[in-house]
Each structure stands twice: as C-alpha cells, then as structure tokens.
Amino acid sequence: MSADTFTVLRVTPVLGRDFSAADDRPGAEAVAIIGSNIWKSRYAAGRDVLGRKVSVNGATPATIIGVMPDGFHFVDTTDVWLPLAQMPGSTRQRRDARGLLMIGRLPDGIGLDRVRAGLAPIAANLAVTHPETNKDVRPLVNTLYEAYNGGVLLTDSITLTQLLAAAFVLLIASANLANLLLARAAYRSREIAIRAAIGATRWRIVRQLLIESLLLALVAWVLAVGGSWLALKLSTSQVYLPYWRLKMDVRLLGMLAAVALLTTGLFGLAPALYASRRGTADGLKEGGRMSATPKTRRWTHALLVGQFALTLALLHGAALTAKTFYKFYGLDLNVQTSDAVTTFIRLPAQKYATPEQRVAFHTQLRDRLLAVPGMTASTIASAPPFTSAGRRRLTAVDGRPASDPPPDVMTVVVEPAYFHTVVRGLVLGESFSELHGTPGHEAAIVNQRFAEVYLGAGSPIGRHLELRPPTAQRTYLREAEGPTPPVRVTIVGVSPDIRQSLGDAVPIVYLPYRAEAPAGVTLIVRGSGGSAHVVSAAREAANAIDPDLALGVVRTLDELRDRSMGVSAGMASQFAKIGGLALVLAGVGLYSAIAYAVRRRTQEIAIRMALGAQATHVRWLFLKTSAWVVLGGLAVGLPASLALGRQLQINVVLADSRDPVMLIAMVAVLAIVALVASIVPARRATRLEPTTALRIE
C-alpha cells in the first residue's frame, strides 16, 4: 500500500510509527507494520518488537516499525502491511494487470457522481490510447461500505428483508396486545363506568389506560436493549469484520424507544378510546359481564386475520431459505470434506520464476507428504471448493463463437489427483494425467452445469473450447510473462457439480496444473491423526524443500463449507426462528381470543346445553370463528407470501417462490396450529355444568 493509506483512513498505529513518504520509494530500506494478532501471538505483545527483522514472501528482511490496533485487518484479512515500492515487479506489470485498489476521502459536499464524472473522460482517453487493454473498461466508484458488502443493492435488499421479517413479528405481537387490551377494556367496563359517574373525564380515563400500556412498553424496551446488546456480542464474535466494529449507540437506543412508543400509541390507544366511549349507563347495566359489541368482535377478527397472514408470509420465507440450504447441502455431498485440510501457498517470484520450477516444487512436496505415515492424499488447486475462483472468457465451442459478447466462465487449475482427493470422482470420461497440460496435450474437464449450459445434447467428451482471460481481470505476480494467449483445450471428462462460490453451482472449467502452474495455489491434504498432525506434516515437508516458505491460513474443508454457507444458513436460521415465533404468537393470539369468547359466552353456552344442544354444535360455534380467521389469513397472506418470496429470490434463496407444494405445506401447518389453538378452549366450553355456569354471574 502507498505510504498515506492509513492517513486517509485516519487510523494510526498503537505502537511505533506509520509509513513515511521515504519508505515508499525504490531502494528504500524494507519496513513493515504488523497487526495486533501477530504482535500478541508471535511476540507476546512486547514493545521490543520494533526494530526486529521479518522475512515476507522470501524478499529482503523488513524492519518492523509499527503495530496496528486490535481488530484492524484492512483491507481484508491483512495482518502485515508493506509499502507499495516493495511489491515485487510492480513497475513491470502488464497494463491489464489490475491488482490495486484506489481509496480516497471526499471533501464535504462532493458526491460520488462528481467523482465518476471526473474519471469518465480519463477512462475514455485511455481506451483510445490503449485499446488492447482499456477498451470497454470503465472506472468503478463505490463507497467503502459498498466495496465490503458486495454493493449497496445486495446489502440493502438482504437487510430490508430481515427488517421486514422483524417488523412482521412486531405487528403480530402488537395485534396480540391490542386484542388482549380490547378484552381487558370490555372486562373493566363497569369499573370505567363508575369512574366516569363520579367525575372522571374521558381524557383522564384514556390517560390511565395509556399509562398502563406505556409501562408495558418500558419493560419491553429494557428487555429489547438487553437482548440487542447480547445478540450484538454474539454476532460480532462469530462474524469477521475487517474494518468496522458494531456497537450500541444512542441512535439505536432512541430508535428502539421510538418503536416502543409508536407501537404503544397505535395498539394501546384504540382499546383506550373504545373503553372511554362506552356509555356510563351501559357500563353499569352490564354488571361486569365481559360483553363485546359487534364492532369489537370485528376488530378482534381483523387483527387475528392480520396475524395469520403475516405468519404465513414468514413461514413461507423460512421454507424457502431452508430449501435453499438443503439444496446446497446436496451439492456439497459431491465433495469429500472429511479429514481434509487446506492451506494457501504462494511461491515467491524471485525463487520460482518459471512454471517448470513451480511444478518441480509441488511434485517434491507431494512426494514428501505421501511418504509421511498417515497421509493418504495430497493435491493442489488454484481455488478450493466453496470459494470463488478465477474466470476466463469462453470465446468458441468447437470452432464456433460461443455468443456475443463471450460469456465469462469460472476456471480452476488442478492437479490430476484433485478428482480423487476432493471431488467424488467423475461423472463421465477420465481424469487428468501427468501429460495433460504439456504441449500437444491441452485438456479440460467441465462440470455438469457447464455441459448443460454451453454444450447442449450429446457427449461432451472430445469437444473443443477456446478460453481467453477477460481484459479487465485482476492479475497478480505475472508481471514478466507477457500477454496471456488464448487456451484451446479438448474436454476429456465431466465432473459432478460442486459449489465453487457462495451461491448455486455455476459452469466451471478445470484446467491441468502443468498448463499454467500459477504461483499461488491451495494445498489440500487428507490424512489421519487430526488436522494438527496433517498441518504439521505439510509445514515440515514444505520447509524441508524451502526453509523460507510460509503456509497461509489453515482451514479444514468442513470449515470452508460452513463459512461458505454462512449467509444461507444464517438466513434459514433467522427465518426459522422468526417464523416459529410468529407461529407461536399467532397460535397464542387465537387461543386467547377463543378462550375469551368462551368465557364471555358462558351463560349462553349453559342455556344451549340446558336446552339439549350437542357438544359438537357448541364446539362448532367457536371452531367456525377460527375457520373464518384462517381463511381470511390465507386470502391476505398468500399474496404477501409470494411478494416476500420474490424479494428473497432476488438475492438470498434459489428455490421457486411459487412452489405449490411448499405453499400447501405452509397452509397445512398454519391450519393445524389454528385447529389446536381453537379446539382446547372449545372443548372446555362443552364441559361446563349448566347449573354451575348459570350461577357464575
């Protein structure tokens, strides 16, 4: 990075100094700034770390001049920072090697549109001056927030969906509260009538009932703050954030308070106004009976219909995310994750300048690893499963242009043993041999998705592809190799689909390692004795060949799979919890309403039973209400479910939001809950002893 990067970010080292302009000049003494993790784990947080020498990428030893604050990993998972002048071969890179990002801070009043407008003529001029590398290349200007989170559209859509689900639960809970307050207001009609008779004004009565609701809101706010703080602690301990740290602040607390007050005002005011409007004479004549006017019943039923409609939408969202999660799980069965450990190896360009040298290193490494007791397999790949890989432009299939413009397809460079060590064999054809990738033996293996999308009917074996690197691709440490020529390959095999990204299976072309021998690859080793033993064996084997070589972050394939499913698993878990909570709240609301109706109509039930009414007829009085509530909820909830499903389908889920089987299943779940919530109080109504019930009031 350039010397002023930390200055632009307004972050300073907690120990030592920042880079200076003199550090970022050719020929300057090599210096480095390290992260807090390294400082604590390797140097026991000692202040004598300053001035110590470290070797980075096999280059000239650099002097440690500073330590960054705890938790700071900018740009991504960085723990060591070097001046840009120390980047090997940076002055000899090709024009289409785009491995650097520019970061700037805008003055007040200047927006991104003005920056884009200023860069547009520069890009146009470069496209004319250097058409071979800059044609159709445009500057991409984003905020730092958008750069980290994949674009504001994606991030805001997911966040909006989550907030919408939370708002649904809030509305369901508020509707429950409103129903209970309505019932309580009807129950207290005699008390309120007496207060009015002895001089209480309508405003005084409303104020009393609102204060009771506000006390509920205050308790809810305190619990919400505590729950939010706990959830924030748990989430930030599990999610890696390279630059920001989430924390509670005054604005968040104020927002929670506003939500509590708003829900209290909306759902507590209506019952209070209802209670204050009842006539004094009517209230005294009712004698404390829990009567309910037709208008009250209509409000109760409308709130119940709304609860069930929102619950159906949330259950549909939970089903969609769960279906996507299990779809990923099915794809992941094609990867052998057990006992497999991965680590990144980058061979320094100074020592391993040619493909032959890199092939020789990895051949020695593989032989040494397989000679270790307990090691069963070893292979390398430019990108392990469950992670994003490079892309090539598919320009031709069997000599005919693929499409206009040519599509970009994902490419992974692998050793022959990859399809025995990582993937569960091939669907068709044969794996790579040691000859594949050498002159005259250009070959490729494609996955099933690629064959479906680009090859059509017939056998893919023996068909020919032409691949070119995209003009604007990022290229690292290939500064001295010149322009990459097109690759013409023959398909020799078809691999099962696996996830090579965070989403669904995509078209993939596998190329043999000998064809390119990239400097940076992932080593994948399988062995017994646990991951610690496998990692130790890999480190010893690598250091026996090159003592200065360091292994990258070590993770098992199981860890990579779990991390890649983080968004889908998280959304599935969230919607399952939110949908389950909504279902419980809706069931409780319906149960409370039916139970209240049973108690309110105790005398009526007793008279019916005394006159010879059958138990089934009495039950149907209340089950009929539940049936209408469910039907009304379905009428409103099905369109809401489809709308929420489309929103999820844009960015989160891969399942069809209009899947009739899924919708029928969710309707059945909702109907069962409604039946259970209704039948318990309905059965209680038929067990009343008429003579006892008639004496209740």
Give the C-alpha separation, 272 to 213, whole Å: 9
Cis bond before residue 75 (omega within 30° of 0): yes
Confidence of residue 292 (pLDDT cuts 50, 70, 90): low
- 565 vs 464, residue with greater confidence: 464
Looking at residue 287, its pLDDT comes to: 46
Looking at residue 39, its pLDDT comes to: 93
Residue type at position 123: A
Give the C-alpha separation, 516 to 443, whole Å: 12
Residue 12 pLDDT greater than 90, yes or no: yes
HEC sequence for 594-620: HHHHHHHCHHHHHHHHHCCCCHHHHHH
Longest dimension (CA), the chain: 106
Task: Quote the pTM value.
Answer: 0.68
102: phi then psi, degrees, rounded to nearest 5? -100, 135
Give the C-alpha separation, 61 to 82, whole Å: 12
- Total domains present in the chain: 2
Residue 31 pLDDT greater than 90, yes or no: yes
Give the C-alpha separation, 550 to 657, whole Å: 48
Provide mean pLDDT across the span 486-507: 86
Provide mean pLDDT across the span 44-57: 88
Residue 80 pLDDT greater than 70, yes or no: yes
Give the C-alpha separation, 510 to 506, whole Å: 12
656 within domain boundaries: no
Give the C-alpha separation, 103 to 80, whole Å: 18
142 within domain boundaries: no
567 within domain boundaries: no
Provide mean pLDDT across the span 133-158: 69
Looking at residue 237, its pLDDT comes to: 54
Instruction: Look at residues 648, 469, 652 and name the one whose alpha carbon lies nearest to residue 568.
Output: 652
Residue 63 pLDDT greater than 60, yes or no: yes
Provide mean pLDDT across the span 308-325: 81
Residue 526 pLDDT greater than 70, yes or no: yes
Residue 519 pLDDT greater than 80, yes or no: yes
Instruction: Single out the residue in 548, 564, 593 at which a domain terminates.
Output: 548
Looking at residue 634, its pLDDT comes to: 85
Least-confidence region, from 206-215, 259-268, 395-404, 597-606: 597-606
Instruction: Single out the residue in 38, 57, 87 at which a domain terminates.
Output: 87
Give the C-alpha separation, 450 to 408, whole Å: 11
Compute CA distances 337 → 38, 494, 526, whole Å. Answer: 29, 20, 9
- The Cβ-side half-sphere exposure at 521, using a 13 Å CA radius, reads 27
Give the C-alpha separation, 110 to 113, whole Å: 8
Residue 533 pLDDT greater than 80, yes or no: yes
Q: Do 491 and 462 touch, CB atoms closer than 8 A?
A: yes
Confidence of residue 470 (pLDDT cuts 50, 70, 90): low
Sign of CA dihedral 27, 28, 30, 32: negative
Instruction: Give the residue numbers spanning the domain of 428.
Output: 348-548
Instruction: Single out the residue in 496, 513, 548 at which a domain terminates.
Output: 548
Which residues touch 31 (CB under 8 Å, ≥6 apart)? 19, 23, 62, 63, 64, 65, 82, 83
Which residues touch 50 (CB under 8 Å, ≥6 apart)? 15, 16, 64, 65, 66
456 within domain boundaries: yes
Count other C-beta atoms under 10 Å from residue 519's C-beta.
17
Give the C-alpha separation, 453 to 144, whole Å: 35
607 within domain boundaries: no
- 520 vs 331, residue with greater confidence: 520
Please give the helix or strand (H or E) that residue 237 lies within, else none: helix 202-238
* Token pair in block for residue 361: 């290193």
Please give the helix or strand (H or E) that residue 623 lies within, else none: helix 615-651
DSSP 435-483: TTTSTT--EEEEEHHHIIIII-SS--TT-EEEEE--TT----S-TTS-S
Which residues touch 242 (CB under 8 Å, ≥6 apart)? 73, 74, 75, 76, 77, 78, 148
Beta bridge partners of 491: 444
- 4 vs 159, residue with greater confidence: 4
- 177 vs 510, residue with greater confidence: 510
Cis bond before residue 405 (omega within 30° of 0): yes
370 within domain boundaries: yes
175 within domain boundaries: no
Give the C-alpha separation, 576 to 571, whole Å: 8
Please count the residues of the chain. 697
Provide mean pLDDT across the span 62-69: 94
Instruction: Look at residues 102, 26, 135, 92 and name the one whose alpha carbon lies nearest to residue 478.
Output: 92
* Token pair in block for residue 377: 């397999």
Compute CA distances 119 → 126, 140, 474, 689, whole Å. Answer: 11, 9, 20, 85
Provide mean pLDDT across the span 336-349: 88
DSSP 8-49: HHT---SEE----GGGGSTTPPPEEEE-HHHHHHHHTT-GGG
* pLDDT tens digits along 220-242: 888 888 888 887 777 655 555 55
534 within domain boundaries: yes
Looking at residue 187, its pLDDT comes to: 66
Percentage, residues of the chain above pLDDT 70:
85
Q: Measured in whole angstroms, how far is the alpha carbon of residue 588 from the centre of its chain?
A: 31
* pLDDT tens digits along 413-433: 999 999 988 998 899 999 999
* pLDDT tens digits along 638-692: 888 888 777 776 656 666 767 788 788 888 888 888 888 778 777 776 776 666 6
Residue 490 pLDDT greater than 70, yes or no: yes
Residue 99 pLDDT greater than 80, yes or no: no
418-429 in b/e burial notation, b at 16+ Cβ within 10 A?
Answer: bbebbbeebbbb
Give the C-alpha separation, 579 to 313, whole Å: 8
Give the strand pairing for 487-495 and 443-447.
Answer: parallel
* pLDDT tens digits along 360-382: 999 999 999 999 888 899 999 99
Kindly report the average pLDDT of the chain as a whole number: 80
Residue type at position 296: T
* Token pair in block for residue 3: 């010397």
Give the C-alpha separation, 245 to 242, whole Å: 9
